[in-house]
């Protein structure tokens, strides 16, 4: 999530270990804030990365992330797995 001229940008990914992660939600402003709110309510880890969020916001809903974003998204997944105790 990022603040760009006072508006939150949020992009949610889902990864089920088949294929690449998919963009399952994205929004700016009120919609972005709602995505973040729902994520927090459900205990979903949130990574704040302005550059990555901007790049992911260009991916269509339901599509897998492009190969050029694999490394950056993998780093986020490792962060989340460590945060949740699934990886040391």
Domain containing residue 7: CATH number: 3.40.1690.10
Asked if the structure places residue 10 within a domain, the reply is yes
Rounded Cα distance between 25 and 23, Å, is 6
Secondary structure (3-state) at 75: helix
Residues in the chain: 88
Q: Counting Cβ atoms within 10 Å, is residue 25 exposed (0-12), middle (13-18) or buried (19+)?
A: middle
Q: Which domain holds residue 24?
A: 2-83
pTM of the model: 0.84
Residue 88: inside a domain: no
Judged by phi (left if over 0) then psi (alpha if -120 to 50, else beta), residue 20 lies in beta
- Per-residue pLDDT reduced to its tens digit, 52-79: 999 999 999 999 999 999 999 999 888 8
* pLDDT tens per residue, range 28-37: 999 999 999 9
Number of structural domains (the chain) is 1
């Amino acid at each position: 999530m990022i603040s760009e001229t006072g508006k939150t940008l949020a992009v949610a990914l889902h990864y089920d270990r088949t294929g690449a992660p998919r963009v399952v939600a994205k929004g700016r402003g009120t919609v972005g804030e709602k995505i973040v709110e729902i994520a927090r309510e459900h205990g979903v880890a949130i990574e704040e990365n302005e550059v990555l969020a901007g790049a992911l916001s260009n991916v269509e809903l339901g599509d897998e992330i492009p190969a050029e974003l694999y490394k950056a998204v993998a780093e986020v997944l490792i962060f989340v797995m460590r945060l949740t105790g699934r990886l040391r």
